[in-house]
Structure 1
Amino acid sequence: MTALKTVGLLIVRDKKLLLAYSRNKQCFYLPGGKVDEGETEKEALCREIAEELNVEVTADELEYYTHISAPAFGEQQGVIMEQDCYWLHRDVTPRPAAEIGAIHFFSSDDYSRQEAQAPGVIAILNQLKADGFVD
């Protein structure tokens, strides 16, 4: 097993979670990505959000929520995504950039109807639903 250290951003509006569509992986997933060597998790998340969503975020604005482990979507068999998820409670206007083809807010049911589903997104949606944050 290989672990892939990642970070993800949580933005919820009207009990739906913001997800970004990766043109590379052909799937909606949490905005964020891999933590580079020498980077803190929050630094990585700020960098990824600027690259993917054209939104400038500071480390002070990020609030830790939970950790998820799941098979890494679009990676070879045996790669496990280890992802720390952070809230951003500020209202922002994300605009897709880089490899992001679209952004959309999803309930658990909305996401369950997607052709491609990332195990990590299913895990975080289940946790958010259990905690009453999303439908």
Structure 2
Amino acid sequence: MSQAVQRIQAQAVPELATASWSNALLLGNELVMSGMTGHPATRQAAEAGTPLGAYEQTLVVLNKALALVEAAGGHIGNIYRLTVYLTRIADKDEVGRARRDFFEGLACYPTSTLVEVSALVFPELVVEIEACARLDIDMRTAPTR
């Protein structure tokens, strides 16, 4: 028997009319999110002459992921996995700082992979993040074994 799939949408993460992907799909209790960037905030900041750095872009993206989790009925403690794509590996400490600030207060951090890539879809982007969440877990109170 096949499982119901729901497309999750959030106002903070608009889907492009021309997109050939979904930002987030809920498969039972599992929320799978596409890679997200800080666009369009990064474009607006770059055009204003104040480009967003890796720290700021990471926070923008993590807040987008959280908006999708909340739209699915979840909370920050449901996010358990991140894959981070970074155009300058030297920015890894700033990404780590943003993750620490964003997930502050959780019993443990989500699992994570961070890799350097040569470029992202727009030149002002330095970070892209894929996230996974489960609505039946809570990282805010996860015990250590």
Q: TM-score, normalised by structure 1?
A: 0.32
Q: TM-score, normalised by structure 2?
A: 0.30
- Higher helix proportion: 2
